[in-house]
Amino acid sequence: MTQQARPPERSKGRRARRLVVVLLVLLGLLVGADFAAAAFAEHTVSQKAREQLGLTEDPAVTIHGFPFSTQALGGDYGHISVSAQGVPVGDALSDVAVNAELHDVTAPLSDLTAGNVDNITIGRLEGQVTLKASDIAKVSPLNNIQDLRIDPSSEAYVRHGDGADGKPQEEKEDSTAGVRLSGRVQIAGQEVQIFAFAMIQLDGTTIRITPRRLQFGNDQETTVVPQQVQQALLPNFEADINAGNLPFTVTPTAIRVDPGSITIKGEASNVNFAGVSAE
């Protein structure tokens, strides 16, 4: 009994399937290797950022774009994100949150693998720094206010009080914003709850808090502080914060107030990664 030959179509189909399987395996290995290389580069940048920002833990670093290998070989990266919590700045601030978007980054592969950041340059940097109320409460003279709290307020209410809407409006980002500061102060030996409505303004690299009005009371009921008492207490809510010492030294362009925090945004061009630090 003679053995029948396999149809050529079936043999070709099996070879094609094997080829597809082999290609898929190779593709998976290449993708895995690409992700591994990206993870190594992210870890290297993260460690260097940790050293320069004085952190106890590595910040989060994400290199966007695929494949990573083509970016690494060319030494040009379109977009890298860096975020960190608990960044110490100066003597008073110890819990600053930093988010930075780095665009058009040049990082030679040899320097990156060696952990050398001196030749890494950033074409355009968008920085966002958030100061928490617990840190701002350490800045003089705000450190005289107990249980300092921060909330947004409309600029109209800060300037004009009753008759204006106290809720912040959805406006375009600007170099000024309204804020409501509240806390407890000692007056004639008694502790009272007080609200200070102030303007926050960016003046160069300085964040300037200028109080306009004071109210006694709580969230349910308030009374206007007499003018003579206001003049005596307003300086307790007036403060300057030097943004020039913040990480990712950018030119501050906008400020935003959120419940419990103040966020400063800014941009910079042609930044050297080695110069990124918190003083």
Q: pLDDT per residue over 9-66, tens digit each?
A: 666 566 655 655 555 555 454 445 556 667 777 777 777 777 766 777 788 888 887 7
Pairwise CA distance, residues 54 & 6, whole Å: 70
Give which of 198, 223, 200 is closest to 213, Cα–Cα: 198
Which whole-number Å values give the CA distances from 63 to 4, 60, 166, 226, in the listed order? 58, 10, 41, 56
Q: pLDDT per residue over 124-163, tens digit each?
A: 888 888 999 999 999 889 988 899 999 999 888 888 776 5
Instruction: Evaluate if residue 104 carries a pLDDT over 60.
Output: yes
Predicted confidence at residue 274, as pLDDT, reads 63
* 64-68, 107-111, 121-125, 167-171, range with the lowest pLDDT: 167-171
Tokens representing residue 201 in the block:
């303004």
Cβ pair 262, 200 in contact under 8 A: yes
Predicted confidence at residue 29, as pLDDT, reads 46
The domain locations on the chain are: 36-131+266-275, 134-262
pLDDT band of residue 115 (cuts 50, 70, 90) is: low
